[in-house]
Amino acid sequence: MNALVLLLLAQAAPAQPSKTPPTVNELVQKLDTTAGLKEKDKPFEIAASLGRLYFGQGRYADAQLFFKQAVAGAEDARTLFLAQRKLLGSKALPTPASVGCEPTAASTLASLAEKARGLATAKNAAGAVSCLSAALAPLMEVEVLLGNSQFLLSDAAGAVLTYSRALETSEVNVDARYGRAAVTLDTLGDDLAALRRAKADFERFLTDAPTSPRAPNAKRLLARTTAALEAGGLSKLTVTAQQVAAAAPPPPAPVARPAGMPPVLTKETMEAFQNAPRTPEMEANFAKLVSDAEEHLARGRFQDALTAYRQVMPFQPDNARLRAGMAWTMIRLNRQPMADNVWRVASENPAAISELGDVLKAKGDPEGAKAVWQRLKETVPSFAPKLEGKL
């Protein structure tokens, strides 16, 4: 299946040098004409990437199909994780690296799960849980996107079940918790037991993710949920209360990635993008996108910065300047745990992160620059002497 995706991407790339890179729409067109694509068995990573690709295009039925395939592909690892977690008890977890399971660019869910099975066989439940936590980290996002797809396809009950399943795997999956609460309030507003669960979810979300961009909406929805409980149901709120609620921003559905935004691709697909023909015009466009992203960062437009960076990332994943900016953007957007993972990769070139601080300061964001340098100092202590005079 990896070879199939690589072939399709290569076909989507122009045969001769072009002024523009292949678009996501061109890639989707190639995938749409591939016989048996939906039916064939796929590794978790391929199915997840295909799901993200179609989700980004607003094709939620296709996205749902591939996300379900990805979830099914992770089921054995998830089952083993839940079983080993029960055996673990209150024991502290070792780090994935200490048990040979630290994720790398070449890691797959299947390869990490295989290591975890060996640890489980050796009666090392703590090691197996740690290893499987690393293996299943990508599943957290996939299950949220599956729930989002179901909700957008008017399957609210299915979405709630999917979010609940995600929380069974990881109770700190804040996106799943927010999604479950929002969908419950939206569709079960007169079910008092359901409203109490939604209230608890909103409260837990605000405890776990107080600085999330969704926190203001969560506070409004929590207030609405509380009012509905006091009134005996959402439909029994007084007209005045309903008018007040109507004046506030509408309760958001689970967030869908805007159409056309490049998806998070696998290692294989990124390699294919890197091998696409380049022209000086393309390289200049990539450089401008990175510069624009830094301007957005300095102005606090973090989502705009992320959009710009993502257009370049598949083509230049080893660009240290891009990695530094992408890491800081995701931190400012509170995209955990991915933000910490991207920062760790970017920290392999601390000089690039330091230079990002210089750029932010030059663009009129001295506080942002100091925040970048302070985090760099804390996470890469060996680089701290080179930051003297900046903090």
For the chain, which domains are there? Answer: 278-387 (1.25.40.10)
| Residue 35: predicted pLDDT | 84
| Residue 19: predicted pLDDT | 46
103 Cβ contact partners less than 8 Å away, ≥ 6 residues apart: 96, 112, 134, 135, 137, 341
Name the amino acid, one letter, at 151.
F
| Residue 283: predicted pLDDT | 75
Q: Is the dihedral of CA 177, 247, 193, 199 positive or negative?
A: positive
Q: How far apart are CA 323 and CA 309, in angstroms?
A: 9
Q: How far apart are CA 204 and CA 175, in angstroms?
A: 11
Q: Is the dihedral of CA 51, 343, 331, 362 positive or negative?
A: negative
Split the chain (391 residues) into runs of 10 and give each run's mean pLDDT. Answer: 39 43 70 85 90 84 94 96 90 88 86 94 94 92 93 90 96 93 90 95 95 87 92 72 38 40 43 52 79 91 85 77 90 78 87 93 92 91 88 77
For residues 161-200, one letter each, b for 16 or more C-beta atoms within 10 angstroms of the residue's C-beta and e for the rest, the string is ebbeebbebbeebbbbbbbbbbbbbbebbeeeebbebbbe
| Residue 282: predicted pLDDT | 67
Name the amino acid, one letter, at 218.
A
| Residue 22: predicted pLDDT | 52
| Residue 58: predicted pLDDT | 79
CA angle 298, 338, 373 (to 5 degrees): 40
CA angle 3, 313, 332 (to 5 degrees): 135
| Residue 312: predicted pLDDT | 78
Instruction: Specify whether the CB–CB gap between 316 and 336 falls below 8 A.
Output: no
